[in-house]
């Protein structure tokens, strides 16, 4: 397998200044009982803007700690070493990354790289016998997801996908209200996420993600696998699935207006889709780099429940037929890391909803959405 480094990718694509993950600019503190037991030692692979946010979450995590980094930028290695007091032996570049296999002080690697690099570094980590958390979308195709799952299974390590909202109180309530049919059977779901510029200053990076920047890697299909659907729409696919507790049977989809044909020559600016679920519910979802939207809503036989904002880093606001929702704001990264880390420390298998199986399902749905948008017809979602 040809080795790819984040630095090589950024340099070759002219995107060296780009941040590596979309993130709204709100972070919250997380409190809890003190914990003095063993922590899971985590190495971050890729030191873009989202890695900085994860590092903040690791400082607040009860069961995980930042133990190492992987970067192609020597200056970043020096800065992170100093800021987080990292030992030299736990600092890697993309060429010597495989030697992490010989380091017992690294238990898990968190892959925070452009989408097309997820497969390579997940498989390399698995071969080094390290557990893996991979950012979403899991990969750029369902076939790649299956390869990643197989590699981790064969190596005897666990593979998690970074679904932070699976540990966030407001979204957990949306899941409960829908799946437990608190307001009766859900008949209709809406989910939307879109924005153009996100400020990372609250995470201490001093950077912004701006899809108007022509050097942004998300505009390059080779690295992103697609546009707004891959980067933002995955959250909407997720929301519709966990509010209903089902996977779509079929989808229809349409591309939205492109306002700058040059910038969006390779990937879509906006896409909307409709999904039919086994219980008869319909979902209407959209994702866009052209406008701001952030909300989920479910209509049931005896009422409704919704969040707006819903998918960003909060603070979230929710209400139901019975009134407003009030839950604590949490550091979503710390909550996610703790949920995954505690299970791995206890040598327990990860549940399907946070594993590679979940990432694979999302890619199967998104592949069907792209096919439907390209053909104009209804497409059955294939999960086999």
Residues with catalytic function: 136, 235
- Strand segments, DSSP code E, in the chain are 40-45, 64-70, 91-92, 108-111, 131-134, 159-161, 186-194, 197-199, 208-210, 250-255, 270-276, 282-288, 293-300, 303-307, 318-320, 323-325, 379-380
Angle value at C-alpha 83, between 98 and 162, nearest 5 degrees: 55
Residue with the two structure tokens 């007091």? 85
Asked whether 225 and 276 are in contact (CB, 8 A), the reply is: no
Residue 40 CA to residue 38 CA, distance in Å, equals 7
Rounded CA separation 363/141 (Å): 6
Rg (CA), the chain: 20
Closest CA to 373 of 274, 258, 232: 274
Length of the chain: 384
The DSSP secondary-structure symbol of 363 reads H
Q: Evaluate whether 269 touches 227 at the Cβ level (below 8 Å).
A: yes
DSSP 8-state symbol, 182: B
360 cis-preceded (ω within 30 degrees of 0): no
Q: Which two tokens stand for residue 81?
A: 């070493």
Reduce the DSSP state of residue 105 to 3 states and report it: coil
């Amino acid at each position: 397998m040809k080795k790819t480094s984040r630095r090589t990718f950024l340099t070759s694509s002219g995107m060296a200044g780009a941040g590596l993950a979309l993130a709204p600019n709100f972070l919250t503190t997380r409190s809890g009982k003190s914990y003095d037991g063993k922590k899971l030692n985590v190495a971050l692979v890729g030191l873009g803007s989202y890695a900085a946010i994860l590092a903040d979450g690791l400082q607040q995590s009860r069961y995980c700690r930042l133990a190492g980094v992987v970067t192609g930028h020597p200056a970043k290695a020096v800065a992170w070493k100093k800021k987080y007091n990292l030992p030299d032996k736990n600092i890697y570049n993309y060429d010597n990354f495989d030697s992490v296999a010989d380091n017992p002080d690294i238990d898990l690697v968190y892959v925070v790289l452009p989408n097309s690099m997820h497969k390579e570094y997940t498989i390399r980590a698995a071969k080094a016998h390290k557990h893996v958390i991979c950012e979403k979308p899991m990969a750029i195709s369902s076939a790649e997801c299956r390869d990643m799952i197989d590699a981790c299974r064969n190596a005897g390590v666990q593979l998690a996908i970074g679904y932070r909202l699976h540990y966030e109180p407001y979204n957990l309530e949306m899941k409960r209200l829908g799946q437990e049919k608190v307001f009766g059977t859900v008949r209709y779901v809406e989910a939307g996420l879109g924005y153009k510029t996100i400020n990372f200053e609250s995470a201490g990076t001093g950077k912004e993600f701006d899809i108007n920047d022509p050097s942004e890697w998300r505009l390059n299909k080779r690295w992103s696998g697609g546009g707004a659907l891959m980067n933002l729409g995955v959250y909407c696919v997720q929301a519709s699935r966990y509010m209903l507790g089902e996977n779509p049977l079929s989808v229809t989809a349409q591309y939205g207006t492109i306002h700058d044909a040059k910038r969006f020559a390779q990937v879509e600016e906006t896409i909307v889709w409709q999904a039919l679920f086994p219980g008869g519910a319909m979902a209407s979802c959209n994702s866009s780099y052209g406008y701001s939207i952030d909300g989920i809503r479910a209509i049931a036989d005896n009422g409704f429940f919704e969040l707006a904002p819903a998918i960003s880093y909060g603070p979230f606001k929710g209400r139901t037929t019975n009134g407003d929702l009030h839950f604590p704001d949490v550091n979503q990264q710390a909550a996610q890391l703790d949920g995954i880390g505690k299970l791995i420390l206890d040598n327990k298998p990860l549940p399907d909803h946070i594993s590679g199986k979940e990432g694979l399902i999302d890619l199967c749905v998104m592949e069907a959405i792209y096919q439907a948008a390209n053909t104009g017809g209804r497409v059955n979602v294939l999960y086999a």
